[in-house]
C-alpha cells in the first residue's frame, strides 16, 4: 500500500523529468539586464554623492559656481543659450553627467519653456527642454515663498509626465519611479536630481532625463507634467498641491531625426586574445551618438571573464567625441556605448577608436593597449 509521501515522491519524480525536458521552459536572460542593473547602481551612486553634497551646501554651491564659470569660459554659446536659468548649478550637474547635452545646447538644440504655476506657496517652473528621439532632458525650478522658511531640501514626491492624449510616459508614486508604455515603447526616468533650496530667492533647481526603451521610438510632441505632492526629506512632511503645466516640443527638436549608418565587423588583438566584434548599428542623434557592439567569439575567453573597453569616436580631422557613460563592464562582451554627438559637425568620416581593452575576472584584470581604429562611415 502506498503512502501519501510515496505518491508525492512518484509524482514529483515524473513531473520533475517532464519539466526539465521541456525546451520552452528555459528562461533566456536578456543582455540588457546587466546594463540596466549597472545603470541603476550608477544612478544610486550619483544620488548618494548628491546627498552627501547637500550636507555641505555652501561649499558645494561655491564649487558649482566655479565649475559653471569654467563652462561659461569654455563655451560662451552654451552660457548664452541657457542664461535664463535661475540657478546654474543644476546644469553643471547635468553637464557633468553628459557632455552630449552641452554639445546639443551649444548648437541651439534647446527650447525655453519658462512656464510657472503656484500652489501651496511654492512656484514650480518648467524651464527648458533638450530633446531628440532618443531622450529628453527637462530642467525645472521650485521657488518657496515665506510660508516655508524652514525647508532646506525638497523632493518631487508624486508626479506624472504624460503625452497630449493623457497617456503616461513616466512619473513617481510611493517613492517608486513609474514606467509607462505607449504602444510598444516604454519610457522611464534615467537620471533625476534636485538641488537644495538656495540663496535669498529660495529656489531649488532640478533636472530629469527621460529615455525610451525602443531605439526607433520618438518622444510625443506634446507633454503634460502634473505634480500632486512634494516631500521634505528631513522631516518626511508631504506638501500637497497641484502644479500642472504642458508644452509642445519645438518642431526643430521634434523633427531632428537621427542619421543612421550600417554597422560592420572587425577584429582586434588584446594580448593573447583575438576579439571578433561587430558594430550592429550607428545612430547619430543631436545629443549623442549611439551604437551597439556585439562580441562574436565569447567562447574564446575563459568563463567568468568580463571585457572593459576604453574607446572614443574621432572624425577625419582628429576631433575626438568622448564616450559619455562610464566604461561598461559586461560579461557578455556586448556593449551599447554612447558618445558625444557629431550630429552638428560636418565630418565626412567617423572612426571608432578602441584605445584599450581590459580582460577582467574576479581575481583581477589585465589591460591591453589596442589602438584599433575602425572607420564607421
User: Footprint of other proteins on this chain (CB under 8 A)?
Assistant: 8, 11-12, 14-16, 18-20, 22, 24-25, 27, 29-30, 32-34, 36-38, 40-41, 44-45, 48, 176, 179, 186, 213, 331, 362
Least distance (Å) from other proteins to the CB of residue 34?
Answer: 6
Quick one: 178 or 376, whose CB is closer to other proteins? 178
Q: In Å, what is the CA distance from 91 to each residue of 25, 67, 102, 206?
A: 48, 10, 9, 8
Quick one: 36 or 366, whose CB is closer to other proteins? 36
* Cβ–Cβ < 8 Å for 180, 186: yes
Least distance (Å) from other proteins to the CB of residue 191?
Answer: 14
Terminus-to-terminus CA distance in the chain, angstroms? 77
Burial of 120: CB neighbours in 10 Å, binned 0-12, 13-18, 19+? middle
Quick one: 331 or 345, whose CB is closer to other proteins? 331
Least distance (Å) from other proteins to the CB of residue 51?
Answer: 11
Q: What angle do CA 238, 244, 245 make, to 5 degrees?
A: 140
Least distance (Å) from other proteins to the CB of residue 338?
Answer: 19
Least distance (Å) from other proteins to the CB of residue 25?
Answer: 6
Quick one: 1 or 33, whose CB is closer to other proteins? 33
* Cβ–Cβ < 8 Å for 108, 82: no
Quick one: 168 or 259, whose CB is closer to other proteins? 168
Least distance (Å) from other proteins to the CB of residue 308?
Answer: 12
Quick one: 12 or 322, whose CB is closer to other proteins? 12
Alpha carbon of residue 187 to chain centroid:
12
Least distance (Å) from other proteins to the CB of residue 28?
Answer: 9
- In this structure, what C-alpha cell is assigned to residue 64? 558649482
Least distance (Å) from other proteins to the CB of residue 181?
Answer: 8
Instruction: Give dist(CA 341, CA 331) in Å, integer.
Output: 27
Quick one: 36 or 373, whose CB is closer to other proteins? 36
Quick one: 322 or 327, whose CB is closer to other proteins? 327
Q: What are phi and psi of 254, to 5 degrees?
A: -65, -30
Least distance (Å) from other proteins to the CB of residue 8?
Answer: 5
Quick one: 19 or 58, whose CB is closer to other proteins? 19
Amino acid at each position: 500500500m502506498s503512502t501519501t509521501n510515496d505518491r508525492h515522491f512518484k509524482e514529483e519524480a515524473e513531473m520533475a523529468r517532464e519539466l526539465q525536458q521541456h525546451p520552452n521552459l528555459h528562461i533566456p536572460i536578456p543582455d540588457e539586464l546587466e546594463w540596466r542593473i549597472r545603470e541603476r547602481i550608477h544612478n544610486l551612486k550619483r544620488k548618494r554623492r548628491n546627498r552627501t553634497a547637500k550636507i555641505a551646501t555652501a561649499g558645494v554651491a561655491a564649487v558649482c559656481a566655479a565649475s559653471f564659470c569654467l563652462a561659461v569660459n569654455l563655451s560662451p554659446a552654451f552660457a548664452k543659450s541657457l542664461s535664463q536659468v535661475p540657478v546654474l548649478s543644476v546644469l553643471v550637474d547635468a553637464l557633468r553627467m553628459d557632455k552630449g547635452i552641452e554639445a546639443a545646447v551649444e548648437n541651439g538644440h534647446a527650447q525655453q519653456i519658462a512656464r510657472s504655476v503656484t500652489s501651496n506657496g511654492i512656484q514650480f517652473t518648467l524651464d527648458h527642454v533638450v530633446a531628440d528621439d532618443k531622450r529628453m532632458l527637462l530642467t525645472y525650478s521650485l521657488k518657496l515663498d515665506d510660508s516655508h522658511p524652514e525647508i532646506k531640501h525638497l523632493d518631487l514626491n508624486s508626479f506624472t509626465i504624460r503625452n497630449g492624449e493623457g497617456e503616461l510616459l513616466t512619473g513617481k508614486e510611493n517613492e517608486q519611479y513609474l514606467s509607462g508604455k505607449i504602444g510598444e515603447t516604454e519610457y522611464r526616468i534615467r537620471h533625476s536630481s534636485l538641488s537644495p533650496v538656495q540663496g535669498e530667492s529660495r529656489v531649488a533647481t532640478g533636472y530629469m532625463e527621460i529615455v525610451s526603451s525602443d531605439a526607433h521610438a520618438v518622444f510625443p510632441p506634446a507633454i503634460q507634467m502634473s505634480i500632486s505632492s512634494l516631500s521634505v526629506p528631513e522631516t518626511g512632511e508631504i506638501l500637497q498641491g497641484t502644479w500642472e503645466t504642458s508644452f509642445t516640443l519645438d518642431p526643430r527638436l521634434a523633427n531632428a531625426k537621427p542619421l543612421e549608418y550600417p554597422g560592420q565587423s572587425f577584429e582586434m588583438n588584446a594580448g593573447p586574445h583575438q576579439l571578433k566584434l561587430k558594430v550592429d548599428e550607428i545612430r547619430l542623434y543631436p545629443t549623442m551618438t549611439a551604437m551597439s557592439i556585439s562580441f562574436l567569439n565569447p567562447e574564446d575567453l575563459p568563463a567568468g571573464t568580463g571585457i572593459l573597453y576604453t574607446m572614443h569616436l574621432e572624425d577625419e580631422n582628429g576631433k575626438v567625441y568622448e564616450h559619455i557613460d562610464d566604461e561598461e563592464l559586461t560579461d557578455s562582451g556586448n556593449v551599447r556605448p554612447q558618445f558625444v554627438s557629431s550630429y552638428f559637425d560636418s565630418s565626412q568620416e567617423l572612426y571608432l577608436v578602441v584605445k584599450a581593452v581590459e580582460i577582467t575576472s574576479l581575481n583581477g584584470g589585465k589591460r591591453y593597449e589596442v589602438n584599433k581604429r575602425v572607420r564607421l562611415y
